[in-house]
Chains A and B, each alone.
Chain A
């Protein structure tokens, strides 16, 4: 065995109890670090997944990011006289020549797109009126860009294709009306079109505001209802990789001219909240390991204090200061490494235990589990941080040990 390692081991075994305590500290530190990191990354990922699943990766709106200047300002850009009381140019609502633009977006790689015409309408059933957002969609295309299919309680988007006068309601909306499948509701649009439509599907996303306000009809029907033939005012995009959304949005916006918003942009506030949460949790778990490394500091400074004679012997024999430093760093590394091994084992069993905990909310009948990240990163981060803090904790007393002058010790002993 390597000489420095065998000396390091002899030091640790001469302070067995303290070594075990520091080992326990690192073990617990690594285990908690791992479990909490896994929990945090797992719930982050879960949160993002819900966010990504529940909303389009990119939405193209019939708006411009910068309001267009009025023609008169374009014509006289450097005018010194300001004209007032001009009649502003009315913007035509909806995406102009949407079919061409849709085709272009559909031709991009790794992108699926569906058009929609969204508008407000009043839904009436049994004498009760409620406002709702009517989404006119093409079922075949819509299914490819959203997870709405997964949320149907009854019927499906396909039912719309089979029943052109059908409407799909969010569960919250249906409950307010106390309406069920197969019943007829009346839909009235702001432009005065009124139609009777049959409930052919019910969905529940679990997101109450959506479930209480959204309804789906065929694109053609919403174009009739809103009196906007051949128009669409939304493109809904789904990407193979949701994290490409900001780039995809840029490309689409540049090509199409309309505002294209990625899910990241749409949920900026939530994402920065996640970042803050991650920083807080990281500092807490790091603190656990830093505290744990005090145990290592404790053993090694005790060893250094008690073994000054040994250090003097080694130095008089011809050990360099660096060799002495190395011996004590090895001691820290040994405790860090063994503690990491036990810590990973304990951490994994803590994660197992957490993973089996069921979460029940009063409004949801499906059992939910705590989301965990089972990847390598919590383990690697735990070990890395444990080793770094073990070495840092060992370094201070090690440097002190390395600076012992043999003659000082010899004079004291004689």
Chain B
């Protein structure tokens, strides 16, 4: 029983004249070191679920336990602290600060946390970039890099504070085939060799194949495992 993340009856309804249910009654567990892919049709609520699991959004029902600790009732600032220390994010479109170099972007969470002396922080940033094949890109601005390189910088930043869980939302969604393949290899390596816990949304069946487990969302509801396998088989074909 080593669930890093546990969701119980998660529901998120957007309030409004016509309330929109983004996800409904989701219960799941993610084990330490597990690589989980979330699939489903466009608009099925994959991103919404990821935001909830990543403590970026707050559920209107249910709760999330991180490392066994209930996150319900935490303030916005406390949730931000949890994200800073324990969670890393990679989004579909690179989300880098345009005026900051690759290295400075990677170091953003490290410097924000402020635990490492500057020199060690820089060493760590360079090591992360080097491991992702970006050793010579450290000084470059995001605008001077390719989409694949930028996405790898985003991965390096997500890993900068050595998070408990790495979240990714269609990380290859905006990349060409070659870059996608490259990023897939990186995720596979992070999972197998570094034993990282990864939760990623993806449209790409070959990406999902690398995962230990695939969750399938339809209309904001999690499909039972047997059905998920069928749906996955369909999506591969």
Contact = CB atoms under 8 A, between A and B. Distances in A.
Contact of B76 (A7, A10, A13, A321): A321
A310 B98 contact: yes
Interface string A2-43: 010011001101100000000000000000000000000000
Chain A interface size, as a band, is 20 to 34
Interface in A355-414: 406-407, 410-411, 413-414
A63 B152 CA distance: 95
B228 to A, nearest CB: 23
B54 to A, nearest CB: 8
Given A317-B108, A318-B109, A319-B80, A411 B47 contact: yes
Contact of B56 (A6, A316, A320): A316
Contacts, number: 72
Contacts of A410: 47, 51, 56, 91, 169
A10 B47 contact: no
B56 A317 contact: no
B51 A407 contact: yes
Contacts of B82: 318
Nearest to A411: B47
A310 B112 contact: no
A320 B81 CA distance: 8
Interface string B42-65: 000001000100101100000000
Chain B interface size, as a band, is 20 to 34
B80 A315 contact: yes
Contacts of B56: 316, 406-407, 410
A252 to B, nearest CB: 66
Contacts of A101: none
A316 B83 contact: yes
A14 B47 contact: no
Interface in A79-111: none
Contacts of B104: 6
A120 B23 CA distance: 103
A318 B80 CA distance: 4
B128 to A, nearest CB: 15
A313 interface: yes
Interface of A: 3, 6-7, 10-11, 13-14, 309-310, 312-323, 406-407, 410-411, 413-414
Given A7-B97, A10-B97, 13 more contacts: A3-B111, A10-B99, A14-B99, A310-B97, A314-B97, A316-B89, A317-B89, A318-B109, A407-B57, A410-B56, A410-B91, A414-B169, A414-B170
20 contacts: A3-B112, A6-B104, A7-B97, A10-B97, A310-B97, A313-B95, A313-B108, A314-B97, A314-B108, A316-B83, A316-B95, A317-B84, A318-B81, A318-B112, A319-B80, A320-B80, A407-B56, A410-B47, A413-B91, A414-B169
